[in-house]
Amino acid sequence: MRYPAAGLGLLAGFVAGAVVMVAVSLFTAPKPEEELQGLVYGTRSPGMEEPPAEGGDAWYRRPALLGWGVVVLAAACYIPCSF
- CB crowding 44-63: b at 16 or more within 10 Å, else e: eeeeeeeeeeeeeeeeebee
Q: Give CB contacts under 8 A, 24+ apart, made by 13-18.
A: 14/78, 14/82
- Whether 13 maps to a domain, the answer reads yes
- Whether 50 maps to a domain, the answer reads no
pLDDT greater at residue 54 or residue 14 = 14
Parent domain of 27: 7-41+59-81
| pLDDT per residue as tens digits for the range 32-72 | 877 777 676 666 666 666 555 566 667 777 788 889 999 99
pLDDT greater at residue 2 or residue 78 = 78
pTM of the model: 0.43
Helices of type H across the chain:
4-27, 33-36, 63-82
The tally of domains found in the chain comes to: 1
